[in-house]
Amino acid sequence: MEQDLESLATAVAELTEKVAATNGTFSETFYYLTIPLMVLIHVGFLAYEMGASRSKNALASGIKNILAFAMIVPFFYFVGWWVYWAFPTGLTLSEGAMGISGLAYANEVAAPWSAYMGPNLDDRASGVFWGAFVLFAATTASILSGGVIERIKLTGFVVLAIVLGAFVWILAGAWGWHSDGWLVTKFGYHDFGAAGVVHMIAGFFTLGVLLNLGPRIGKFNADGSANHIAGHSMPMTLIGLMLIIAGFWGFLMGCVIVPGEAWSWSNTIEGTIYGTPMTISGMTFNTLMGFAGGIIGAWMVTRDPFWMMSGALGGIISCAAGLDLWYPPMAFAIGFIGAVAMPFVASFIEKLGIDDAVGAVTVHGFLGLWGLIAVGIAAQGYPAMFGEDVITISFFGQLVGAVVMALLGFVPGYVVSFILKATGQLRVPAEAEIMGLDAVKVPADAYPEALHPSVSPAE
């Protein structure tokens, strides 16, 4: 009998070890796949912004996107990842209730000299989880990139992209997208799909930059009325927007804590970054419904293909904060409402004399705000984090979170761009802007045949 019990215990131990290994492989693969999917976001932004630029600026717009992506990676390795684990409870570097934050924990798992930040064969998740967060960081820089096309200096833009991607957004993530985050534990802030910690942060950071950068030459008339400056390729812009939406699936995958992770609430079901339960099935329903609501809402008020595709992205952003909570028709309605409001908000921003070339402040800043408020209106009373007797979601908590995200985005964007402006590093000279940034900054032609119309293809 005793021998049978020992054999059973051995079998159980072996089975447990195999299950753990399988879960580890699944987790590793899951986050690894988010990375190439999120790269599609940057393929989309590349096409989107080059198409939205005039042909004389197409390559310059693309170069700053590519360079910002590359620059953020090392800065996020050395600083950004450490910030996420060090500052959830505030600026005190103290440990939170979950025990996965604070100075000691950040040094253990995220300092550049930590074993977790290298090819540790015993650790199979840190690198790919870090990689997913790097792509979130790069996304914030790409959001900024669209609003400032055709007149920003490359060096100034790279500085702003690094500050936003490797410092500002990840501090917001620590506060509102971490189970020890003070916005979560004290106010019940809920933001599953990063409507606030990514989109609002990037949108309001962009707003701060635009106030110092100023409008493109020819955008506004002497009486304050605005002129439409069309990009050179609407088809490229539309394809780019659709690629961003395709990449958004990887973005949302990266918001999920999959079974088997040490900080997951369960070994059998997916969870949010707060430890609360959700399913990828529910996320799929709501993402597609928000997407459809956004397209239909924008089409009904504009009939403009640019705003229709922006509406698709805006619809997803509108319902992103509560994608784990919505009943699908609610996701459709929330996306629809956000997309209907979107063109009017963009027009209001333009009337203020702000030249947001692609509507980044509206689509990401305003609709991220709407997404947070929608959770406060429609999801009050849901547990904000895993556990018993925990704080619940409330309108007040979402409002506090929205104010924090707006200020945390806007203030650094304004201050850093003001310093760059004062030192002559923010905007290109007027002569270069009129000639086109490709001609003065890029040793290549976007459309060389167009520059020599007298030469036939046969020649």
Higher-scoring residue by pLDDT: 413, 444: 413
Residue 459: pLDDT band (50, 70, 90) is: very low
Mean pLDDT confidence for 161-166? 96
Does residue 444 contact residue 450 with C-beta atoms inside 8 Å?
Answer: no
- Grouping H, G, I as helix, E, B as strand and the rest as coil, residue 226 is strand
Domain parsing of the chain, residue ranges: 21-444
Task: Give the HSE-up count for residue 343: Cα atoms under 13 Å, Cβ half-sphere.
Answer: 20
Mean pLDDT confidence for 125-143? 91
Give the class (CATH, top level) of 21-444: mainly alpha
Mean pLDDT of the chain: 89
Does residue 181 contact residue 88 with C-beta atoms inside 8 Å?
Answer: yes
pLDDT of residue 367: 97
Does residue 422 contact residue 415 with C-beta atoms inside 8 Å?
Answer: no
Q: Whole-angstrom Cα distance, residue 295 to residue 132?
A: 28
Mean pLDDT confidence for 171-197? 94
Q: Which of 339, 338, 413 is nearest to 372 (CA)?
A: 338
Q: Which two tokens stand for residue 409?
A: 């985005």
- Between the two ends of the chain, the Cα-to-Cα distance in Å is 91
Per-residue pLDDT tens for 230-281? 999 999 999 999 999 999 888 888 888 876 544 444 445 678 888 888 888 9
Residue 178 to residues 33, 77, 116, 221, Cα–Cα distance (Å): 22, 19, 19, 47
What amino acid is encoded at 259 in this protein? Answer: P
Query: Does the structure show a pLDDT above 80 at 456?
Result: no
CA dihedral defined by 150, 155, 160, 163, rounded to 10 degrees? 160
pLDDT of residue 255: 84
Per-residue pLDDT tens for 399-426? 999 999 999 999 999 999 999 999 999 9
DSSP structure class, residue 115: G
Biggest alpha carbon–alpha carbon distance for the chain: 95
The angle formed by the CA atoms of residues 366, 372 and 373, to the nearest 5 degrees, is 90
Q: Whole-angstrom Cα distance, residue 327 to residue 273?
A: 20
Give the residue ranges of DSSP H helices in 87-200: 103-109, 126-147, 154-163, 169-176, 182-187
pLDDT of residue 4: 64
Q: Which of 410, 433, 442, 447 is nearest to 219 (CA)?
A: 433
DSSP structure class, residue 194: -
Per-residue pLDDT tens for 18-76? 555 556 676 778 888 888 898 999 999 999 999 999 999 999 999 999 999 999 999 99
Contacts with 339 (C-beta within 8 Å, 6 or more apart), sequence order? 293, 294, 295, 296, 297, 298, 311, 314, 315, 318
| Residue 288 buriedness (CB in 10 A; 0-12 / 13-18 / 19+) | middle
Q: Which two tokens stand for residue 395?
A: 């309108």
Give the residue ranges of DSSP H helices in 199-327: 201-213, 234-253, 280-302, 305-320
pLDDT of residue 268: 52
Q: Point out the least confidently predicted range of 64-73, 191-200, 340-349, 450-459.
A: 450-459
Give the residue ranges of DSSP H helices in 254-279: none
